[in-house]
A and B are shown apart, each in its own frame.
Chain A
Amino acid sequence: MNKIIKRRPKHLALHKIQFPLPSYVSILHRVSGAVLFLSLPLLLLLFDQSLRSIETYTNLTEYMAHPLVKLPLLGLMWAFLHHFCAGLRYLAIDLHLLPTLALARSSSKWVLAVSLALTVLLGVRLW
């Protein structure tokens, strides 16, 4: 007896499946949080050096003037700002301030836009 090979359609068109925008905001919230946690020793070290004395402060500012140092710090700033904005959105959701799907989607657009814009603005200001 021959076994019938069943060719069932799978209906999983991966190239057509897309994350909705809130999913990106959500996973970026997690990623940025993890990045910020891992950078804690570095950030505490910077804080320590900035307050210790005028010499360590001056050394730090000279060190941070280097583009190869500034760029990762700008990345960290984005991580903070995204985590901040996405966190505010979650607080708003907890307070039932964004009750519809349309509001959930538009607010996630705002989170991405505002955190990027603030990164650029603060980046220009500090560069």
Chain B
Amino acid sequence: MVNRIVTGAHFGLRDWLVQRVTAVVMAIYAVVIVGYLLMQSSFGYDTWAELFSGNVMRTFSMLFLLSLFYHAWIGVRDIVMDYVKPASIRLLIHVLVILALVLYTIWSVQILWGL
């Protein structure tokens, strides 16, 4: 009999890999953005708004944020699995975290595309 807990990891290796791939995506984006900002001689709203006005930049920013949310989900799930033992509380926290991250995703689209 297979005794699998409903709030377990399900696919350990896939999530392990996703955690690393999303980390690399975020690292590259962060280094590029910080480097670009540090190279600006003057900085203000115009520079900032201009940076996020192009569709390419919005797309890659969205890719960064999606990577962030997926990465955060795996990280939080690992923490919860380590410290929260009762399946009911675990399930509740998992549901809340997933809902929050989905809402953040919708919010991100609204921010980036100025909706």
Q: How many A-B residue pairs have CB under 8 A?
A: 47
Chain B contact residues: helix, strand, loop or mixed: helix
User: Which residues of B lie under 8 Å from residue A36 when comparing CB positions?
Assistant: 72
Q: In the complex, what distance in Å separates the CA atom of A34 from the CA atom of B75?
A: 8
B13 at the interface (CB under 8 A from A): no
User: Which residues of B lie under 8 Å from residue A30 when comparing CB positions?
Assistant: 75, 79
Shortest CB distance B43–A (Å): 10
Q: In the complex, what distance in Å separates the CA atom of A9 from the CA atom of B37?
A: 61
A26 at the interface (CB under 8 A from B): no
User: Which residues of B lie under 8 Å from residue A51 when comparing CB positions?
Assistant: 48-49, 52, 111, 114
Shortest CB distance B31–A (Å): 9
- Show the binding face of A for B, using Cβ within 8 Å: 30, 33-34, 36-37, 40-41, 44, 47-48, 50-52, 54, 57-58, 84, 87-88, 91, 94, 125
